[in-house]
Amino acid sequence: MLNLVLFGPPGAGKGTQAHFLAQSFNLVHLSTGDLLRNEIAANTDLGKLADALISKGELVPDSVVISMIEERLKKPRSTVGFLFDGFPRTVLQAQALDKLLMKHHSKVSVMLCLMVDKKELIDRIYKRGLTSGRADDIDLATIEHRIDVYNDKTAPLISYYESQQKYYPIQGMGTIEEIAENLKHTIQSIQKKHTHHL
């Protein structure tokens, strides 16, 4: 299987690029942010909990997002792989993902990290907020806080995957098309190099 973790700080372009990647490589796209926003829209108990945390730029507890992913992986389906977008967000989530995939006799193939300057992240998120209607996108203090949470809790995953030789930094500044090409080429060259391991 080809299981990709699309990684990067908030505003790095994970969601945008995930759509292209999922199409190009025929992967099932799992975005925990989208799943949580669906719960919010449906006004479920989980949605209410998530809304309170997301609007403040905080993370939803590990157990909650892990069971959401677990549910999705349980569904029987034939796919060449999964594209994880916005998950894992903590080391504990990464360890849980490894265990879940192991149950399915699979593993994370690569972690692709979109590299974008902080100033550009803030600009992108703020601009998105003007049209997305996302409460966590329009308040500058919340945006800054999300980046701090990323640096504090999520960035340690870089060494987690680096130690497994799965970490690939990707230039995340440029046009959407250029970045999509960067990602595609990186994955194709990894596939060529590791045909027997992926």
**Contacting positions for ligand C5P (CB under 6 A):** 10, 32-33, 36, 53-54, 57-60, 65, 86-87, 89, 136, 146
Whether the Cβ atoms of residue 135 and residue 129 lie closer than 8 Å to each other: no
Whether the Cβ atoms of residue 83 and residue 18 lie closer than 8 Å to each other: yes
Residue 84 binds which one of ligand C5P, Mg ion, none, with CB within 5 to 8 A depending on kind?
A: none
Q: Which residue's CB is nearer to ligand C5P, number 10 or number 172?
A: 10
CB of 89 to Mg ion, least distance (A): 11
Q: Which residue's CB is nearer to ligand C5P, number 150 or number 190?
A: 150
CB of 68 to ligand C5P, least distance (A): 8
Q: Please compute, for residue 197, the number of CA atoms within 13 A of its CA located in the half-sphere on the CB side.
A: 11
Name residue, tokens 């292209």.
Answer: 20
Q: Which residue's CB is nearer to ligand C5P, number 129 or number 190?
A: 129
Q: Which residue's CB is nearer to ligand C5P, number 80 or number 148?
A: 148
Please report whether residue 129 would count as binding Mg ion according to CB under 5 A: no
CB of 85 to Mg ion, least distance (A): 6
* Distance of alpha carbon 165 from alpha carbon 80, whole angstroms: 22
User: Six-digit token pair at 61?
Assistant: 């507890």
Radius of gyration of the chain (CA): 16
Task: Give DSSP secondary structure letters for 13-58.
Answer: SHHHHHHHHHHHHTPEEEEHHHHHHHHHHTT-HHHHHHHHHHTTTP
Q: Which residue's CB is nearer to Mg ion, number 57 or number 86?
A: 86
CB of 15 to ligand C5P, least distance (A): 6
Please report whether residue 33 would count as binding Mg ion according to CB under 5 A: yes
Residue nearest to Mg ion (CB): 15
Question: Of the ranges 31-39, 45-53, 59-67, 146-154, which one interacts with Mg ion (CB under 5 A)?
Answer: 31-39
- From residue 77, alpha-carbon distances to 34, 72, 101, 110 in Å are 20, 10, 14, 21
Assign 5 to helix, strand or coil: strand
